[in-house]
Amino acid sequence: CQEGGAVLRLAADLGDTHGLTEVGLRARYNLAAVALESGRPADAVREVDDALVQARERGDRGWERMLLSQSIAPLVVLGRWDQAEPIAITLLTGTHDPHSAVYAAAFLIHVAAARGDHDTWQTCRSVAEANRDTSHADLASAAAVTLARDALESEAPQEALALARPVLSALSTASESVEEAYAICIDAALTLADASAITELESYGASLP
């Protein structure tokens, strides 16, 4: 992870030096992903913020949307809900990009449920339902996380566990989606007092690098 981060940092610096904005944006996007995988959400937000300056100077709406999408999970984790919420709502309702919308829903639904915002909660659920059968692995995992959170908040822990558990072994899934799925699995298993599920989740956690 450190080696990959060093290579990406060099790529970002070279992109800046030689005016290769696309290279710099991609490098910083991936640096934010490395920070998330390493459990450094504040660093992820800083990388995204730096990249957003470049994307907006360039007028690159595609990269701006991707970077805003990437910022939601760390902002929610850091408790910066007032900052995360308007970004997520814009991606959820103001774009035609299903990936950004579903990814936003996966974390916005947590905020909406905690705040009793039932309209936003149901919008998140509807977006996830519309994309739950997609063949895109990351999209399907984000939809599953959203529906699992919906089930957990609706006092259906067995359904939540069934929806979230497969995300832990899904291929090509963003680390923040896996972490959210794991948190939901733990809450559901504890609510159910399911000793076998708790033991299995402990084993999963212990097996990680």
User: Which residue shows structure tokens 């990351």?
Assistant: 138
Question: Which pLDDT band, with edges at 50, 70 and 90, does 23 fall under?
Answer: confident
**Are the CB atoms for 163 and 182 separated by under 8 Å?**
no
* Per-residue pLDDT reduced to its tens digit, 114-123: 999 999 999 9
Is the pTM higher than 0.85?
Answer: yes
Q: What is the distance between the alpha carbons of residues 43 and 2, in angstroms, rounded to a whole number?
A: 14
The SS3 call for residue 74 is helix
**pLDDT above 90: residue 4:** no
**pLDDT above 90: residue 94:** no
* Per-residue pLDDT reduced to its tens digit, 125-167: 999 999 999 989 899 999 999 999 999 999 999 999 999 999 9
